[in-house]
């Protein structure tokens, strides 16, 4: 069976690489020629367009940066001559996922929305959490493929349900990173050692994924290269707020978190690493977080 992969960005490229390394017959497309050439070097075959992928592959996966990109890709995939199943690994929100499902169903193509969590490291190591919704039979058929990318969780057969789960996950991630950044900046301003703060947080009840992983990897060494863009996090927070608003829910915390992320987007730019949220708080406090030299 030929597998198609569309979108070879920071997440898509390592996922495609894993599938090719597992022996999958893989055909790929991205608008950027350099990332396609890199995929060819790890064993994939290039396609000249999205439609060309859908003409050659029975199952097509996509990892895309925005809801509109997903809509555009689905429109092209739906006319494919060979594709029978489409798996969207992107975070696009439940409304777009439902729209894509209807578009593909009209052409007899099974659709699964399958947003992922785990970052670039998870994509490289095959340890992603994959949230899936759509037809149960399509999920069972695709599960061996998804198992090569990480751990798939079947959320619900309702199209878009996995997107809701992903937005919940990412609002939590956005909130814990923002909160960890704020408290560590406060501690540094008060004269505390940031490494000692992280050690205490991680040993106690205040530990978060940010304090255990993001800060040691990308903030203390001042590399700010965790692998997820500020613009993408802002997009996900906005999608969460849109969905929560449509459900008539209060959003006091989400609104406060969103304000800080919007400030980070404005100050650091969409392409900055999302750990750069720290820099906005550092600037306001007049401090810099970093490893201290041992006494």
Annotated catalytic residues are: 166
Is there a contact between 230 and 271 (Cβ–Cβ < 8 Å)?
Answer: yes
User: CB 184: neighbour CB atoms within 10 A?
Assistant: 25
Is there a contact between 139 and 110 (Cβ–Cβ < 8 Å)?
Answer: no
* Integer Cα distance of 118 and 221 in angstroms: 21
Between the CA of residue 50 and those of 54, 57, 97, 106, 122, what are the distances in Å?
A: 7, 11, 18, 18, 26
Contacts from 182-191 at CB under 8 Å and sequence distance 24+?
A: 182/281, 184/211, 184/215, 184/219, 184/278, 184/289, 185/278, 185/281, 185/282, 185/285, 185/287, 185/289, 186/285, 188/285, 188/287, 188/288, 188/289, 189/285, 189/286, 189/287
Please, which residues have CB within 8 angstroms of residue 27's CB and are 6 or more apart in sequence?
Answer: 2, 3, 4, 5, 44, 45, 46, 47, 52, 53, 56, 57
* Integer Cα distance of 210 and 216 in angstroms: 9
């Amino acid at each position: 069976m030929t597998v198609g992969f569309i979108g070879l960005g920071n997440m898509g490229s390592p996922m495609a690489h894993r599938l090719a390394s597992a022996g999958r017959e893989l055909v790929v497309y991205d608008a950027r020629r350099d990332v396609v050439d890199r995929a060819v070097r790890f064993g994939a075959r290039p396609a000249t367009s999205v439609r060309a992928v859908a003409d050659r592959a029975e199952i097509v996966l996509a990892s895309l940066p925005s809801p509109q990109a997903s809509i555009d890709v689905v429109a092209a995939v739906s006319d494919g001559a060979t594709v029978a199943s489409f798996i969207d690994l992107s975070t696009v929100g439940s409304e777009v996922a439902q729209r894509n499902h209807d578009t593909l169903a009209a052409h007899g193509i099974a659709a699964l929305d399958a947003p992922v969590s785990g970052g670039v490291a998870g994509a490289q190591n095959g340890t992603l959490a994959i949230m899936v919704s759509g037809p149960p039979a399509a999920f069972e058929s695709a599960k061996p493929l998804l198992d090569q990318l990480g751990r798939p969780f079947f959320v619900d057969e309702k199209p878009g349900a996995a997107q809701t789960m992903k937005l919940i996950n990412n609002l939590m991630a956005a909130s814990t990173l923002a909160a960890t950044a704020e408290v560590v900046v406060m501690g540094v301003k008060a004269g505390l050692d940031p490494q000692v703060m992280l050690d205490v947080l991680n040993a106690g009840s205040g530990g978060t994924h940010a304090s255990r992983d993001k800060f040691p990897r990308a903030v203390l060494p001042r590399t700010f290269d965790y692998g997820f863009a500020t613009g993408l996090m802002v997009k996900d927070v906005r999608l969460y707020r849109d969905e929560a608003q449509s459900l008539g829910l209060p959003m006091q915390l989400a609104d406060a978190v969103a304000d800080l992320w919007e400030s980070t987007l404005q100050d650091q730019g969409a392409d900055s690493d999302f750990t750069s949220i720290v820099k906005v708080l550092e600037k306001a406090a007049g401090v810099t977080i970093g490893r201290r030299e041992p006494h």
